[in-house]
Amino acid sequence: MAFDPTWASVAELAGKIRARELSAVEAAQHFLARIAQHGHLNAFVALDPEATLAQARAADAAIAAGTAGPLAGVPIAHKDIFVTRDFPTTAGSKMLAGYRSPFDATAVARLAEAGAVTLGKLNCDEFAMGSSNENSAHGAVRNPWDAARIPGGSSGGSAAAVAARLVPAATGTDTGGSIRQPAAFCGITGIKPTYGRASRYGMVAFASSLDQAGPMARSAEDCALLLSCLCGPDPDRDSTSLDRPAEDFGRQLDAPLDGLRIGLPREFFGDGLAPDVRAALDAALKEYEKLGARLVEISLPRTELAIPAYYVIAPAEASSNLSRFDGVKFGHRAAHYDDLLDMYRKTRAEGFGDEVKRRIMIGTYVLSHGYYDAYYLKAQQIRRLIADDFQQAFQACDLIAGPVAPTVAWRLGDKAGDPLANYLADIYTLPGSLAGLPGMSVPAGFGDGGMPVGLQLLGNYFAEARLLNAAHRLQQATDFHLLHPPL
């Protein structure tokens, strides 16, 4: 039987292309054809086959010359929050319609240096603000397991594209759970590294103290390959980049889990967790016990404070970051205005969507005179206490496990009129984000309606290799990551 790239992992594709059993051009053409067949998912917002095939030809030439990188010829796609020279970047917003960056984001450049071939840009919630991918100016992305449901957000296009096998892997960003939650809802694997591990240079900023890039792929093994290329210091271009060298995150994938202590926060398994999600998680945790891990109960007592703290801090930073979009330097500008102030007002009213406007107004309010100490400063103090809770917990365990979201993916439009309901869906991912910890989502079965359930794994700072090891061993014992929607 002929090799079908559709179902191949990143590692398998890289091996086939390097062995010249499949050319990078053939791989790119194959996935471009799949993207064209499944446009109803609305996962891609920008394609340029000529640019893609030019990159593929360069990858084939590098392989022939013996100078190819570890991802040579592997097709990937980027969340539309990363700026790219060869493709437009809109951040899912009318405000940046038609914008083309003169440079590539560091994440894009590093994967290109490793030989990856870019298929295009992927749909996302506007400026990465959302949990459902319904806030995009390009329209909602559809979940490939059920096109009437959301794929999760804000990296919903990335998750849907990988789940539908339109691309072997993709980049995403995680501010409060935007890699982990869509990965869970679409049945794929995604990892957010420790804050500062991956450069934020060239990521259109939402909340600078929270935003972090990471890979989304079928398996932990694939994520380890991509993360090893993505991470590393970038001090000249990102002041929040950590001075910590790149490493091989797949170095201990096959290590046994004997004696691994997995903490289960009692606050994550309360009444708010849907029974179908709980059942899938319980089954996955039993697999860990079979693999030699030990489950221990822990507490993260300030979990319920994560939502109010996050939705003060993130909008405050967004109101500052998005002030640059004023119609002067780049992006949308109102066609008719009376003076400079009127141009600012009309440009921002026309260019920003409702959710972005909501968060800008909240952020501006909590930073205003008389409210800074009462809201923003207090939220930062709570953030510190949440981080302390994790450090206390890690004295009793090596990793923390729990749900990614309280339910499986909901139907499109179900929460569109209730922003708070969307915010509450982030309750399990926000604590780790506020603490800057690495975290990932691993396919763990299915819930109501046959929809995927993700198991969240959280580690202490710089524990990415251990997280990937735990995820990989679970994936060796189960086949959930190999299952795909019937497309």
Could you report the per-residue pLDDT of 359-391, keeping only the tens digit for each?
Answer: 999 999 999 988 999 999 999 999 999 999 999
pLDDT, one tens digit per residue, over 12-46 is 999 999 999 999 999 999 999 999 999 999 999 99
pLDDT, one tens digit per residue, over 425-451 is 999 999 999 999 999 999 999 999 999
pLDDT at 324: 94
Q: Examine the residue annotation and report whether 154 is marked as an active-site residue of this protein.
A: yes
User: Which is catalytic among the residues 93, 132, 178, 441?
Assistant: 178
Cα–Cα distance measured from residue 401 to residue 470, given in angstroms and rounded to the nearest whole number: 10
Examine residue 296 and state whether it is found in any structural domain, yes or no.
no
Domain range for 112 is 5-256
Cα–Cα distance measured from residue 89 to residue 122, given in angstroms and rounded to the nearest whole number: 10
**In the predicted model, is pLDDT for residue 2 greater than 90?**
no
Q: Residue range 159-163: average pLDDT?
A: 98
Is the CB of residue 460 less than 8 Å from the CB of residue 394? yes
State residue 294 phi and psi, 5-degree precision: -120, 130
Q: How confident is the model at residue 1 (pLDDT cuts 50, 70, 90)?
A: very low
Number of domains in the chain: 1
Cα–Cα distance measured from residue 275 to residue 406, given in angstroms and rounded to the nearest whole number: 9
pLDDT at 154: 97
Q: Examine the residue annotation and report whether 286 is marked as an active-site residue of this protein.
A: no
**3-class SS of residue 200:** coil
Beta strands in 244-344 (DSSP E): 261-265, 294-298
Q: Which amino acid is at 144?
A: P
130 conformational bin, left if phi > 0, alpha if psi -120 to 50, beta if neither? left
Q: Which amino acid is at 300?
A: L
Q: Which two tokens stand for residue 92?
A: 């899912």
pLDDT at 274: 98
Q: Residue range 334-343: average pLDDT?
A: 96
Q: CATH no. for residue 174? A: 3.90.1300.10
Q: How far is CA 107 from the centre of its chain?
A: 13
User: Which is catalytic among the residues 9, 16, 79, 93?
Assistant: 79
Examine residue 431 and state whether it is found in any structural domain, yes or no.
no
Count CB atoms within 10 A of the CB of residue 343.
17
pLDDT at 4: 94
Examine residue 130 and state whether it is found in any structural domain, yes or no.
yes
pLDDT at 416: 84
Q: Which amino acid is at 379?
A: A
Provide the mean pLDDT of the chain: 97
Examine residue 188 and state whether it is found in any structural domain, yes or no.
yes
Cα–Cα distance measured from residue 309 to residue 314, given in angstroms and rounded to the nearest whole number: 9
Count CB atoms within 10 A of the CB of residue 423.
18
pLDDT at 369: 87
Is the CB of residue 424 less than 8 Å from the CB of residue 307? yes
Q: Residue range 451-461: average pLDDT?
A: 98
Examine residue 182 and state whether it is found in any structural domain, yes or no.
yes
Examine residue 198 and state whether it is found in any structural domain, yes or no.
yes
Examine residue 244 and state whether it is found in any structural domain, yes or no.
yes
pLDDT at 326: 93
User: Which is catalytic among the residues 132, 136, 154, 155?
Assistant: 154
pLDDT, one tens digit per residue, over 287-305 is 999 999 999 999 999 999 9
- Lowest mean pLDDT, pick from 85-89, 348-352, 415-419, 423-427: 415-419
pTM greater than 0.85? yes
**3-class SS of residue 91:** coil
DSSP conformation letters of 117-134 = EEEEEE--SGGG--SSS-
Examine residue 50 and state whether it is found in any structural domain, yes or no.
yes
> Percentage of the chain surpassing pLDDT 70?
100
